Amino acid sequence: MSLLIKQAEAILTGLKGAEARHPGTDIRIEQGIITAIGHLDALPDEKVIEARHCVVYPAWVNTHHHLFQSLLKGEPQGLNHSLTSWLSVTPYRFRAAFDEETFRLAVRIGLVELLRSGCATVADHNYLYWPRMPFDSSAILFEEAQALGMRMVLCRGGATQSRVIEQSLPAALQPENYDDYLRDIERLVGRYHDASENSFQRIVMAPTTPLHSTTPSQLKEMAAHARHLGIKLHSHLSETVEYTDAAYGKFSSSPVEFCAEQGWIGSDVWFAHLVKLSQEEIQLLGESGTGIAHCPQSNGRLGSGIADIIALEAAGVTVSMGVDGAASNEAADMQSEAHAAWLLQRARKGMMAIPRLQGGRFEGGADAATIEDVVRWGTAGGANILGLTACGTLEVGKAADIAIYQLDDPRYFGLHDSAIAPVACAGRAHLKALLINGRCVVQDDNLANVDLHQMQADARLAVKKLQHHALA
Ligand SMILES: [Zn+2]
């Protein structure tokens, strides 16, 4: 049976330029695929989603998360720390405290938050792995995503050598053996990886950070092995100046040059953050077609800075957006992230304005990013980076991953242009429906089989339990 989204007030497509807005009002979906967009009449027996006073976006694609951190929001000891000390104080201090139950709950909370913001796809950079670990965190991520009908790309993180801040941790949190890491990648690829363009399960080689988690020779081997397996590469890079200091201190090159030497740039690689870069590094990333997961809220929360997305995109970098872990972003949903990206790119450019008397050429940065740009980064850009080429845009022939926002909150009253509302007006809009591959997984903000009151109670207990088991 086909499905018709009828009488939408606006449709944003995730495409560029004149195609960013579709003039139609209706979208037909058959067998999970968009088969028509325009002014359409309902067919006999067709199921209709009434979208009057609604705007329709491609479902968001989140390209960088750490779902286990969904139970570490606003952790007081780390709240006012910058990246490196925050890592010790919050995520590492709590890492050993997670068991199967708390990990599963954290994953579920994070996925539900994302779904309710209209997100269909998440790339989770999971680094909760250690030798003889008593539960399979990879399996839990896929199980929870599957139960909710969401697309999961597992970026298999972890470390094969310890970083100074990890050396004082209990034995259970010591790095993995390199061969065991590679064996697990192969196990995961064999069990889960679906390379199709409309995939719901993918594996990515993703040591937690290229500068600290592995040796240069292992990094080089990992890149070659990932390409042999046909999987992509992901990691954190240049989030703060610490990366620049570490790369020059240890390897006498810039972070991006170091990665390039190990085969870690290219169209099959994307990095989270890329806040602190030289002009040469931007050039190198652009020429190689490397991608970015832009995480403006986490970068703001940790005081890291604002990535120069405009320069990166102009150089040829594919831009996507990620919420990053909730331990450094208490608004880990894609609508909040998109709102922040929209404002911060403008603010960043405005910060560079100087008076004309001193040679300045512009007043402010309001032309840095449009709503359509931000939507494209957060949808098509993400699908492109993940290789999910059937997803990310609203076009005939694409998978029906569609968010329908109902503008019934007073914050939207008085708008001259409804299309911009879900990003420009901030906050989470009423989600009339979220379709993933044509299947309705959220209806009027509700998810089937998810009891939010129970989840809230479970989360309160889990936070107490984690606090009790955290390192001192
Ligand atoms: Zn991260």
Residue type, 315: A
Confidence of residue 173 (pLDDT cuts 50, 70, 90): confident
- Predicted model pTM: 0.97
CATH code assigned to 60-382: 3.20.20.140
Write the pLDDT tens digit of every residue in 77-122: 999 999 999 999 999 899 989 999 999 999 999 999 999 999 999 9
CA 320 to centroid of ligand 1, rounded, Å: 14
What pLDDT shows up at residue 166? 57
pLDDT score, position 115 = 98
Gap from CA of 450 to ligand 1 centroid (Å): 27
Query: Rounded CA gap, 205 and 156, in Å?
Result: 6
Q: 66 C-alpha to center of ligand 1: Å?
A: 6
Delimiting residues of CATH 2.30.40.10 domain(s) in the chain: 3-58+392-437
Q: pLDDT tier at 155 (50, 70, 90 boundaries)?
A: very high
Residue 425's pLDDT is 98
pLDDT of residue 171: 63
In this prediction, residues 131-146 reach a mean pLDDT of 95
Residue 163: per-residue pLDDT: 65
Residue 4 burial (C-beta neighbours within 10 Å; 0-12, 13-18, 19+): buried
Q: For 381-407, what is each residue's pLDDT tens digit?
A: 999 999 999 999 999 999 999 999 999
Is 373 in a helix, a strand, or coil? helix
pLDDT at position 174 over 90: no
Encoded tokens for 395: 């076009």
Distance 64 CA to ligand 1 centre (A): 6
Say what the pLDDT of residue 132 is: 86
Q: What is the pLDDT at residue 162?
A: 72
Q: How many CA atoms lie within 13 A of 45 on its CB side?
A: 3
For residue 167, the model assigns a pLDDT of 61
CA of 272 from ligand 1 middle (Å) equals 6
| Alpha carbon distance 441, 246 (integer Å) | 44
Residue of 416, 400, 410 lying closest to 56 (CA atoms)? 400
Separation of CA 273 and ligand 1 centre (Å): 8
Report the CATH superfamily, name and number, of domain 3-58+392-437. Answer: Urease, subunit C, domain 1 (2.30.40.10)
Q: DSSP code of 132?
A: T
Q: What's the rounded mean pLDDT across residues 56-78? A: 98
> In this predicted model, what pLDDT tens digit does every residue of 11-25 receive, in sequence order?
999 999 999 999 999
Which tens digits make up the pLDDT trace of 224-263?
999 999 999 999 999 999 999 999 999 999 999 999 999 9
pLDDT of 466 > 80? The answer is: yes
Say how many Å lie between the CA of residue 30 and the centre of ligand 1: 37
CATH 3.20.20.140 location in the chain = 60-382
- 123 CA from centroid of ligand 1 (Å): 11
Report how far ligand 1's centroid is from the alpha carbon of 440 (Å): 30
pLDDT tens for each residue of 288-299: 999 999 999 999
